[in-house]
Amino acid sequence: ADSPKNYVDWEKIDPEAATRYGKILSSDHYELKAMGRTGFWSTPHTLRAKAYQHIIHSIESTSTTADLDTYHGIVRKLFGELQTSTHPFPKFMEDGEIPRYCLNKAGLNSVKKILICINHHFLDVSFCPILSALVSLLLHFSEDEAQCFHIICSLVSYTDPKKHYIDRTFLTSRASCMTFGDLANKYCRGIRKLIASSHQNLFEFYSDWIMWIFADLPFTYAIRVLDVYLMEGYKVLYRVALALLSFYKVSVSSRVAHVDDFRQDMKSFVQNVGRHSTINALLQRAFSIQLPTRKELTYLFNANKDALIQKDIHNKRTTTNVSFFSSSYQAMDFRAFRSSVVTETEMRVVWAWIPERFALFSPVQLFSTNIHGRRLFSFYSKVEGHDPTVLLLKTEDEDICGAFLSSDWAQKNCDEKGFKFFGTGECFVFTVSKSTFTLINVVYTLLYLRLLVCGLYPAGGDDGHALHLQADLTAGSSEHCDTFESPPLCRGCFKIQSLEVWGIQHSLSVPPLLSQ
């Protein structure tokens, strides 16, 4: 039904809003981005509605859109003259729930009708739990069902390779989930340590990340996120979820001992986020995070997707939310695990810290001083040709430390100055705490591995060596390293009791991720 806004000259009712709308129409993409981030079109309701229509018009140019008549044709075919749908919810919805926000009963019925029509129009959309929330939010700012359907179709079919809006399948949704997990491990390390030390499932916790935004956030927060999402695409969702996670870490740190279920606790936190942060502070935090470029995020997403395909995780095979996806991480074969450096439990913790696409696969021992001796030639012959690898060592003082190395050791070949730097931003150094089996001093930053002509090889750079081993593999040292922002991993100079290098049982190609 038509709303009153179709019968009045709203510019006369609110001249300031009309002036703002004129500025929106005359602004370029970058100016509109700035407007979206600052809430330029937040009020009144009609101004946001008009701003959305203007933004969608630009999205249409790279979309295969459905016009308004398409929707009416689908409605006639599916519903006839009925106004209330008795059809089941679409298969792409996870739980059949529609966020109500400010909708009345008629509005909720319209959301269901639109979702059913989307399901009919896009046969390849097989898993997309955020669609119900997106339809609900956009219906608040649409003239009718057909216009809301048109907007959603524009987002679903957006074809710009540089950014996207909506994941269509279980595979791409889970690849995005893994990508968020990788980002969270880099930018919100503390929360990972809290959850890992509680022995709760970190992968299930991260699997809810997008629902924090499009299900749990209060309406006044969700629409401000929608403002920037429509302008900037999926990358904004990573930013906002990371910002929520950083605020949550502050909230939960003082009461972590009383949290029985981090997943439910996070949901409650987001639903009541107003107690902890304003929407402006949340967005300010989100856009202060120096995320990788869209190209690098695309590399990471595709690498995660390839890992899921190799692991044969293509679709949602169980009725529970993430049980199959979570159990896949537990399918790694540690039964035959034997190490002279770490226990099976400690290795599971180490494995939980490496990038998620590799954590899907089982560790394979490539080199051990207990088996292969301490000759440097033997070391290189065993580890070269493998990426990534995990180096583990135990000192004679029983300290345990190591490094995750994303690049092939074959890149060690020296340049004319006698050394070469190599590695990516996924590398990190760590120590293993014997009392809690958790990793501490884990730092994700650009790693430089330097190989010197004399046979010494440290991890780090000229700003200090986080880990430095002698060529005979009998001793080493660790010092403060600016590259990793890490303190010494163990006592300054040490004797090596045992050293191992573990590879990953996979055949994935590793993209040049975060190489700068």
Check pLDDT > 60 for residue 447: no
- Number of structural domains (the chain) is 3
What is the arithmetic mean of pLDDT over 284-292?
Answer: 95
Residue 3 banded pLDDT, cuts 50, 70, 90 = very low
Tokens (6 digits) for 65: 């859109």
| Residue 322 pLDDT grade (very low, low, confident, very high; cuts 50, 70, 90) | very low
176 and 140 inside one domain: no
pLDDT of residue 231: 95
Q: What is the pLDDT of residue 318?
A: 38
Please, which pLDDT band fits residue 514 given cuts at 50, 70 and 90? Answer: very low
Q: Residue 312 — pLDDT band, cuts 50, 70, 90?
A: confident
- Residues 188, 276, single domain; the answer is yes
Do 356 and 424 lie in one domain? The reply is yes
Residue with more model confidence, 412 or 451: 412
CA dihedral sign of residues 216, 219, 225, 229: positive
pLDDT for res 439: 40
- Measured from the Cβ of residue 457, the count of other Cβ atoms closer than 10 Å reads 22
Rounded mean pLDDT of 121-134? 93
The confidence score (pLDDT) of residue 221 equals 97
Q: Rounded mean pLDDT of 170-175? A: 92
Question: 83: pLDDT confidence band, cut at 50, 70 and 90?
Answer: low
By C-alpha distance, which of 361, 425, 423, 403 is closest to 501?
403
Dihedral of the CA atoms 204, 205, 206, 207 (nearest 10)?
A: 40
151 & 176 share domain: no
Check whether 238 has a pLDDT greater than 70: yes
Mean pLDDT of 387-406: 90
One domain for residues 485 and 381: yes
User: Mean pLDDT across the stretch 226-248?
Assistant: 96
Same-domain pairing of 202 and 282:
yes
pLDDT at 6: 61
- Asked if 242 and 360 sit in the same domain, the reply is no
- Lowest average pLDDT, out of 284-293, 326-335, 378-387, 458-467, goes to 326-335
Average model confidence (pLDDT) across the chain: 82
Is residue 40, in this structure, part of any structural domain at all?
A: no
pLDDT of residue 198: 72
Across 9-23, 188-202, 271-285, 458-472, least confident range: 458-472
Q: Is residue 177, in this structure, part of any structural domain at all?
A: yes
- Counting residues of the chain whose pLDDT is more than 90, the rounded percentage is 47
pLDDT, one tens digit per residue, over 347-367 is: 877 887 888 888 888 888 999
| Residue 446: predicted pLDDT | 29
Distance CA 474, CA 479 (A): 18
Same domain for 374 and 496: yes
Residues 111 and 183 in one domain: no
Please, which pLDDT band fits residue 412 given cuts at 50, 70 and 90? low
- Average pLDDT on 303-321 reads 70
Task: Using CB atoms within 10 Å of the CB of residue 64, give its burial: 0 to 12 exposed, 13 to 18 middle, 19+ buried.
Answer: exposed
Domain boundary pick from 280, 296, 312: 296
> HSE of 307 in the Cβ direction (CA atoms, 13 Å)?
28
Average pLDDT of the segment spanning 483-496: 81
Higher pLDDT: 7 or 305? It is: 305
Is residue 123 domain-resident? yes
Q: What is the pLDDT of residue 332?
A: 55
Q: Which of 102, 136, 157 is the last residue of a domain?
A: 157
Q: Do the beta carbons of residue 353 and residue 439 sit within 8 Å?
A: yes
Do residues 441 and 484 share a domain? Answer: yes
Of the listed ranges 172-186, 372-386, 397-411, the one predicted with least confidence: 397-411
Are residue 187 and residue 153 in the same domain, yes or no? no
**92 within some domain:** yes
- Which one is predicted more confidently, 85 or 369? 369
Measured CA to CA, the distance from residue 93 to residue 404 in angstroms comes to: 38
Does pLDDT of 252 surpass 80? yes
Q: Are residues 144 and 182 in the same domain?
A: no
pLDDT at 461 over 70: no
Out of 127, 157, 187, pick the residue that ends a domain: 157
Q: Is residue 141 part of a domain?
A: yes
**In this structure, are residues 425 and 300 in contact, taking their beta carbons and an 8 Å threshold?**
no
Higher pLDDT, residue 490 or 4: 490
Nearest Cα neighbor of 9 from 19, 22, 18 is: 18
CATH number of the domain where residue 281 is located = 1.10.472
Work out the pLDDT band at 107, boundaries 50, 70, 90: very high
Q: What is the pTM of this model?
A: 0.83
> 316 in a domain, yes or no?
no
- Do the domain assignments include residue 2? no
Listed in sequence order, the residues at least 6 apart from 145 whose beta carbon sits closer than 8 Å to its beta carbon are 71, 75, 110, 113, 114, 139
- Asked if residue 445 has pLDDT above 50, the reply is no
Q: What is the pLDDT of residue 96?
A: 72
| pLDDT score, position 482 | 75
Domain membership flag for residue 34:
no
Q: Which domain holds residue 74?
A: 59-157
Model confidence pLDDT, tens digit, residues 253-281: 888 888 889 999 999 999 999 999 999 99
pLDDT for 10 equals: 67
